[in-house]
A and B are shown apart, each in its own frame.
Chain A
């Protein structure tokens, strides 16, 4: 018996990236833009989606709903003309805590890609694992609610750093919390300087118009315009001080 060293020099997530690229090619071919929507559990992803899925002017939306188990969120999002596909990750160690490219690949045949312009993938609630796995998305958006505390960008930098939009949700609760928005922005700016951000309350509807406009931009161009970000940023500040 002898030992041989074999050079590998391969990113351990290469296999996922390859499948993500294949997904992306399928989406591109069908002319579908894809948003990967992520957050911790209970941050308000589904409620934010309820607000917009059937009210995006001229944009046909589809939703891919990732959950460890059950179809609670898919049921909530069921609307006439909005196809919702449920993807359960409940296998192995009590269920995968994220969607990876392969799971999304398996769901593609169920998605009516010819009938939609924008696919929103609601990832499994988790601030860690989903950040690692590209699924073939055009853009990544994340929701961080004010009840989670202001230190989250510093604690989960990978998630905050890889997102194209950060939504700060549940701002209607600010009067009841000791939440330090300035501190949150300080951490966010350290981890991901100049990332577009918006303040929303899915409950009251505050900021939902910006969220809808951002999705409209993504559906049209695959990304949101820089000047739109600026506008959203300033508007977000107005909401905050109002």
Chain B
């Protein structure tokens, strides 16, 4: 159900930028820390997109790995699960470099050709 709420947020964002034009592709950047299940998101997106400009759109999900950096010892590393303590110096002063994204990166829009072709 998390993915249902997120799908709604995606469609709303796309609708805002599409300006009534039909959308054929939505490119999304999803950070690993967002706990999004890609299949579930695709499933709900299809339902939520019905009756909107996204009805025919395919949802492209780019998974962004979670990378952390320790402010104390400057170590950088990638995590597979949410462990936020530095493996080198045990500091808790850790910043997230990537992995929190939930961004509509771009959309592909279908437009009528308005310039006559020769």
Contact = CB atoms under 8 A, between A and B. Distances in A.
A9 B103 contact: yes
How many B residues touch the partner, as a band? 35 or more
Contact of B12 (A1, A15, A190): A15
A3 B110 contact: yes
Interface in A178-216: 189-194
B84 A12 contact: no
B111 A2 contact: yes
Interface in A1-24: 1-16
Q: What DSSP secondary structure best describes chain A's contact surface?
A: mixed
Q: What DSSP secondary structure best describes chain B's contact surface?
A: mixed
Nearest to A158: B35
B105 A8 contact: yes
A104 interface: no
A97 B83 contact: no
B109 A3 contact: yes
B55 to A, nearest CB: 16
Residue of B5, B83, B107 with highest tally of chain A CB at under 10 A: B5
A3 B2 contact: no
B75 to A, nearest CB: 15
B5 A189 contact: no
Interface of A: 1-16, 93, 96-98, 100, 126, 128-129, 132-133, 154, 156-158, 161, 189-194
Interface of B: 1-2, 4-6, 9-10, 12-14, 16-18, 24, 28, 33-35, 81-85, 92, 94, 101-113
28 contacts: A1-B112, A2-B111, A2-B113, A4-B109, A5-B106, A5-B107, A5-B108, A8-B107, A12-B6, A12-B28, A13-B9, A15-B9, A93-B1, A97-B1, A97-B5, A98-B5, A128-B35, A129-B1, A132-B6, A154-B81, A156-B35, A158-B35, A161-B33, A161-B82, A190-B83, A191-B84, A193-B94, A194-B92
